[in-house]
Every structure is written in C-alpha cells, then in structure tokens.
Amino acid sequence: MTKETIINIPRRFVKDEWGGTETVITETAHWLKASGYQLENVTTLALSDNKQECIFGIPVKRFDYSYTRLGLSKKHRLLLDKRGGNMFSLPLFFYLLFSKNIRVIHLHTMGRLGALARIAARIKGIPYVVSIHGGYLALPKEQLDDMMQPLKGSFNWGKPFDLLVQSTKVIEGADAVICVGENEREKIAKKYPQKKVVYLPNGVDQQRFSSGDASAFISKYNFMETDKIILCVSSFTPQKNQITLLKAFTKAHQHSPQLKLVFIGVIYDRDYFERLQRLTKEQGLEQAVSFITNVKFDDPSLANAYAAAELFVLPSLYEPFGIVILEAWASGTPALCGNVGGLPSFVKDGENGLFFDVESEDCLHQKMNQILQDKELYHYIQKRALKAVKNYSWQAITKRLTRLYDEIAS
C-alpha cells in the first residue's frame, strides 16, 4: 500500500541554480520513493516562471511570492532569490491547507514560509520537521551581515505580518529539527532542551563520484596530461571565499607552473565573480585558472572533474556541512578545508583531510605544498577518506530520515 505524501518546502528549487539543499531533497527523495512514499516539492517561483514541472522524477509545484520590502531593486531581489531571502506566499499556504494525505511536511527553510507551513500543519493536525541547511544559531555574524546586504535601503512593511504568523516560532513548534552539523545541533538543543534535535549528515552518490572519467574532463577542457589540477566546487559568493584560494594558488603556481586551478560553480553574486576574474587577470593567470559555470548537477563533467583533480580545496568562511568534501572523497581526491561550521563533524585533521586557516592565504599555501609534496601523507589521507565516505551513502542517510518520519507521525 502506498504511503502518504512527504511534502518538501525549500525557498526555491530550480535545476539551473543547484546547491546543497536541492541535492539533499533530490537524493533522499529517490530512496524515499523506493520505500513507497509519495514525494512533492512545494516552493516559490523564485528564479523560475514554471509553476509546475517534474525534476529528477519529483513533482515540483511553485507559487507566487513576495518580499515585504519597499524600494527593493531588481538586482537585490535577485540576490535574495538566490540565497537568504525571507519571502512569503499565501497561495503556497492555501495549497498546503487544502492538500490531502500529507504524512509529514519537511521544511528546508524557516522565516515566513516556515511560519505559514507551521500554521497549516497545526490546522491540519500533521507533523512538520525543519532541516537547518544554511546555519541558524551557529551562523557567524559576518555571514549573516553579508546575506542581509541586499536589504539595505529598503523599508520592511512586513513586521505586522511577522507578528501575526509568529515567524520566530518555526523551530519552537517543530516536531523535530534536523542539523547537518554537530555544532549547530548542540546549540539548538541547548536553546530548546525539550525539542527533538537530531544530527543527520548529508550523503553522497558514491557510485557516481567513484566512476568519474579524468581523461574526459582533461580532453573536454583542453588540459594537458601533465597538469596537476586543484579543484574547487562551490557557488560564487563571498562566503565561499574563493579569493583566498586564488591568492594561495598564485604563490604555489610561481614554483609549480604545472598546477592549474579550476573553479566550478553557480554565480550567485555577479560582482564577486567578476572580482575573482579581475584578480586572475591582474596576476597574469588566465592560462592557469579556469572558471566553469555551466556544469549542471547531473552533468557527467562534475564527477569527471573530481577524478581529474590532484587536490580539492574548499575555502569557505562558513559551511553548514560541505557535500562537496564527500564528493571529493568518493572520487579518491584528498581535500583541504577550514575547521568551520559542520565540517569538523566528519573531517578529521591529519586523518581524512587537512584543515587550514580560511583567512590566511599563507596557511593555505603551506598546506597545499605539504600534501602535494609529501606523497606518504597524500596517500594516507586519501586512503582514510575513501574509508570514511562509505558511512555516508544516501541510502543509509534516508533510512535514518524515514525512521524519524515514522516516529513523529505515529
């Protein structure tokens, strides 16, 4: 007998602007469907004009939305759509209110959308769970300030609305809260001691990322077989801190001209992306640094890039989890990252990865040299990472999620 529907609610869900939240929803949906669940993604029309479509076999329904801001420019609205925007959607609320056979509402956002879903869930008497993908209590102030930059110069008329829907009580009213990092879980559990707060890490498609074709990537993007590729897969925003990696690479390339730096990611912040390009040109590195912005989530070139890479670097100032680290591990590519956010929940310095100071280009340069020159260390970390990644299959992660659904919906 087919089980009832699990409704996922992210702020947005489009193939052209893919990120960690979209990956989590899609991969867990695959295994939930295999367990007999019906799945539906309910979201806003942010970054899309298509009110209904099917993405990777999952129905997606999108609804009109708005920001409660006067004087919000088109450019700043786009930035909010891409990351961090606190929108509301009454059509989405009414859709939830009149939908039938919902087993669990799974929120992948909070704010006003989360508040409306909370009200609908309580009226209908069904449970809801909240996943913290972008950081909540553990999000550094600098990153929060950066996300709020597009709101400057506009007037918020939505405060009465927030009071009416009690936007601040989404966590408080949830039947369970899912954190992808232990640091976040500990902070939320401390603030809400009576709340069910669980650590549920993200996963990786191990078969896909272990079977990448290095030669195909080298051929497609005109690299040499003798090139040593340093790879960074991340959206282009200041939080991702590619600037520090570029500066560290500049120093490394002076002594090792065979090194190449490849950035792959979606452009969230155009100004920041252009700044990276200008710096590359100023350093005379146009032939050594590649920016690839058109690789979709399901493009074979993504797994091929990991396979071709000598080293993977994630320079993020803050990272709630870091699925890309698991992708690198599954590909057999050692990874460097900062001791930030949810990364230390699964990355162990000197064991399956190396930490560096994300604010120091000199530290990153030193760590890159260390692992590239010390082959014993390189293979030790590579071997430990390949062993560790076996614990992060999406099937295993989804089994734990299913048990949580069954527990709160029983």
Provide the pLDDT for residue 1: 34
User: What does the alpha-carbon distance between residue 18 and residue 79 come to, in Å, rounded to a whole number?
Assistant: 15
User: What are the pLDDT tens digits along the chain (410 aa)?
Assistant: 346 899 999 999 999 889 899 999 999 999 999 989 999 999 999 999 999 999 999 999 999 999 999 899 988 899 899 877 899 999 999 999 999 999 999 999 999 999 999 999 999 999 999 999 877 877 777 777 777 788 888 888 888 989 999 988 999 999 999 999 998 999 999 999 999 999 999 999 999 999 999 999 999 999 999 999 999 999 999 999 999 999 999 999 999 999 999 999 999 899 999 999 999 999 999 999 999 998 988 899 999 999 999 999 999 999 999 999 999 999 999 999 999 999 999 999 999 999 999 999 999 999 999 999 999 999 999 999 999 999 999 999 999 999 999 999 98
Provide the pLDDT for residue 145: 73
- Residue corresponding to tokens 């090139």: 227
Work out the widest C-alpha separation in the chain, in whole angstroms.
Answer: 65
The CA radius of gyration of the chain, in Å to the nearest whole number, is: 21
Q: In this structure, are residues 112 and 92 in contact, taking their beta carbons and an 8 Å threshold?
A: no
Is residue 389 packed enough to be buried (19+ CB in 10 Å), middle (13-18) or exposed (0-12)? Answer: buried
Is residue 155 packed enough to be buried (19+ CB in 10 Å), middle (13-18) or exposed (0-12)? Answer: exposed
Q: In this structure, are residues 130 and 109 in contact, taking their beta carbons and an 8 Å threshold?
A: no
CA angle 384–385–390, rounded 5-degree value: 105
Q: Count the alpha carbons within 13 Å of 97 in the hemisphere toward its beta carbon.
A: 10
The structural domains of the chain, ordered by start, are: 5-203+393-409 (3.40.50.2000), 206-391 (3.40.50.2000)
Phi, psi of 112 (to 5 degrees): -75, -40
CA 103, distance to chain mean position in Å, is: 26
Provide the pLDDT for residue 56: 93
Provide the pLDDT for residue 154: 87
Provide the pLDDT for residue 25: 97
Name beta bridge partners: 55: 58
CA 128, distance to chain mean position in Å, is: 21
Paired sense of beta strands 354-355 and 335-337, if any: parallel
Q: Which amino acid is at 155?
A: F
The CB density around residue 57, as the number of other CB atoms within 10 Å, is: 10
3-state secondary structure labels for all residues of the chain: CCCCEEEEECCCCCHHHCCHHHHHHHHHHHHHHHCCCEEEEEEECCCCCCCEEEECCEEEEEECCECCEECCCHHHHHHHHHCCCCCECHHHHHHHHHCCCEEEEEECCCHHHHHHHHHHHHHHCCCEEEEECCCCCCCCHHHHHHHHHHHCCCEECCHHHHHHHCHHHHHHHCCEEEECCHHHHHHHHHHCCCCCEEECCCCECHHHHCCCCHHHHHHHCCCCCCCEEEEEECCECHHHCHHHHHHHHHHHHHHCCCEEEEEECCECCHHHHHHHHHHHHHCCCCCCEEEECCCCCCCHHHHHHHHHEEEEEECCCCCCCCHHHHHHHHCCCCEEECCCCCHHHCCCECCCEEECCCCCHHHHHHHHHHHHHCHHHHHHHHHHHHHHHHHHEHHHHHHHHHHHHHHHHC
pTM for the structure as a whole:
0.93
Q: In what order do the strands lie in the sheet with 58-63?
A: 52-55, 58-63, 38-44, 5-9, 102-107, 128-132, 176-179, 197-199
